[in-house]
């Protein structure tokens, strides 16, 4: 099911998930504000997502995710967080990393996403142990920062 969703559908599911995580509930005005769309556009999308069995939408009560909708929303959220973390790790400024993570979360093959996720876990968690001979992520980051500074100095 997840693969058949448009990037717009995914954006709405992630927004609903984020809002519910923050507030405990989501209403049309919250969703439209989060996504920068008109409430009428959010309402139309809620009807489409409800027809697909991903949300429960009751006109004046708000929006909740079904089990299937929540599973998909969590996967989308995790993808976004993975890309944002990876981009920040390679020293992309936070605001740019968030915007670019949004682009990446929709445009990459699932296998690429899996491998990037594995790489991120490996360098941020596994390399803390004996696998990387004591070279902590902090050391990698400092070396990478120095390398980036040197590269930048070569451009000028």
- Residues 139, 92 share a domain: yes
pLDDT at position 108, please? 85
For residue 6, the domain's CATH number is 1.10.10.10
Domain boundary among 33, 54, 72: 72
- Residues 67, 10 share a domain: yes
Question: Domain containing 52: what range?
Answer: 2-72
Which residue numbers in the chain have pLDDT < 70? 1-3, 125-138, 140-141, 144, 156
Do 129 and 116 contact (CB within 8 A), yes or no? no
pTM here? Answer: 0.77
pLDDT at position 2, please? 44
pLDDT at position 95, please? 95
Question: Structural domain tally of the chain?
Answer: 2
- Residues 106, 140 share a domain: yes
pLDDT at position 151, please? 75
pLDDT at position 136, please? 63
Do 47 and 38 contact (CB within 8 A), yes or no? no
Q: How far apart are the first and last CA of the chain?
A: 49
Domain boundary among 45, 72, 99: 72
pLDDT at position 137, please? 62
For residue 126, the domain's CATH number is 1.10.60
- Residues 123, 67 share a domain: no
């Amino acid at each position: 099911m997840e693969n058949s969703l448009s990037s717009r559908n995914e954006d709405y599911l992630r927004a609903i998930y984020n809002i519910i995580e923050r507030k405990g509930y989501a209403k049309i005005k919250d969703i439209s504000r989060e996504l920068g769309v008109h409430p009428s556009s959010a309402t139309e999308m809620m009807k489409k997502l409800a027809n697909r069995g991903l949300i429960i939408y009751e006109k004046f009560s708000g929006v909740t995710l079904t089990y299937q909708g929540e599973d998909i929303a969590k996967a989308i959220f995790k993808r976004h967080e993975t890309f944002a973390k990876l981009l920040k790790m390679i020293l992309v400024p936070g605001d740019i990393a968030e915007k670019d993570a949004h682009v990446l979360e929709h445009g990459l093959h699932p296998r690429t996403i899996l491998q990037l996720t594995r790489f991120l876990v490996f360098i941020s968690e596994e390399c803390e142990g004996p696998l990387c001979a004591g070279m902590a992520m902090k050391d990698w980051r400092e070396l990478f920062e120095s390398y980036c500074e040197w590269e930048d100095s070569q451009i000028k």
